[in-house]
Amino acid sequence: MYRPYTVVDIRTENERTKSLVLDGSLDAEPGQFVMVWLPGVDARPFSVAGDAPLTLMVVAVGPFSRALHDLHRGDSLWIRGALGHGFRFPERMPGKRLLLVAGGYGVAPLQFLARRAVEAGARVDVAIGARTRTEVLLSEAFERVGADVWVTTEDGSAGERGRVTVAVERVVADRQPDVIYGCGPIPMLQALEAICKRAGLPYQLSWEARMRCGMGLCGACEVHDSTREGWLACTDGPVYIDEGVLSESSGSPEVKA
């Protein structure tokens, strides 16, 4: 069932992005999502940007996200979750090297992941790709938890000019990460997946899909591409986990955390 939360703080991240800080915590792993319901409006999935207090990052892209932007401190919204399977850490975390790759607004769950990873003793590198300077979000937040951050923008207004995959290729060569984690638009995830497969690197990618029931029943969020089929973003994912070359022959796309 849905549980009501109250908005206690609103942070403006850029002209079309706000973070909503809610009045309670949620038992959630980085990469998991919640269904957010505004009665009479709609219900949509949002990845958990922080667990204590529960924090959601909302980009105004449609009627529902604009309705969330219209909320004020003290207003209510309803949460179901945490849902789905989030990111997983490799065994023996201390000393492990993790590369987190964010495309645009994909920074939200990865910033939560970075905090947990550093707490567990890993060294974290972050590559953030965006179209332009104002869409590079949370880079200071990553630095605050002790991660090294690389920024690329398509127009060159911040960091290196180009797509994030350019930075990824270099960080992979220079720092030899043990695992790559990604969240962003699907073309970015596909490009990242290709890099990981070529390098034989284990990877975990958070997929975006249209979600309806969010319960693994209705089939609306099935992901069907060259790597996955019959894979439900809501209950099999949203994080797709590939353990790398060693387990590639196992063939099962199902991953249970």
List residues binding another protein (CB under 8 A).
Answer: 1-2, 4, 35, 37, 39-40, 42-44, 76, 78, 80, 212-220, 222, 224, 229-230, 232, 235, 256
The number of beta carbons lying within 10 Å of the beta carbon of residue 94 is 8
Residues 6 or more apart whose CB falls under 8 angstroms from that of 177 comprise: 97, 98, 99, 125, 171, 201
Our CB check for another protein shows the closer of 174 and 226 to be: 226
Amino acid at 217: L
How far apart are CB 216 and another protein at their closest, in Å?
6
How far apart are CB 43 and another protein at their closest, in Å?
4
How far apart are CB 44 and another protein at their closest, in Å?
7
SS3 for 223? strand
- With beta carbons less than 8 A apart as the criterion, state whether 8 and 22 touch: yes
How far apart are CB 21 and another protein at their closest, in Å?
20
Q: For 7-32, b where at least 16 C-beta lie within 10 A, e where not — what string?
A: beebeebeebbbbbbbeeebebbbbb
- Token reading at 83: 């849902």
How far apart are CB 51 and another protein at their closest, in Å?
21
Our CB check for another protein shows the closer of 177 and 237 to be: 237
Which residue, among 37, 30, 29, 27, has the nearest Cα to 4 in the 3D structure? 37
Our CB check for another protein shows the closer of 93 and 255 to be: 255
Our CB check for another protein shows the closer of 120 and 213 to be: 213
How far apart are CB 64 and another protein at their closest, in Å?
9
For the chain, the residue count is: 257
Q: Quote the CA–CA distance of 77 and 218 in Å, as a whole number.
A: 24
How far apart are CB 86 and another protein at their closest, in Å?
16
Our CB check for another protein shows the closer of 180 and 223 to be: 223
- Token reading at 227: 């790597």
Our CB check for another protein shows the closer of 215 and 245 to be: 215
Our CB check for another protein shows the closer of 169 and 222 to be: 222
- With beta carbons less than 8 A apart as the criterion, state whether 139 and 128 touch: yes
- With beta carbons less than 8 A apart as the criterion, state whether 34 and 82 touch: yes
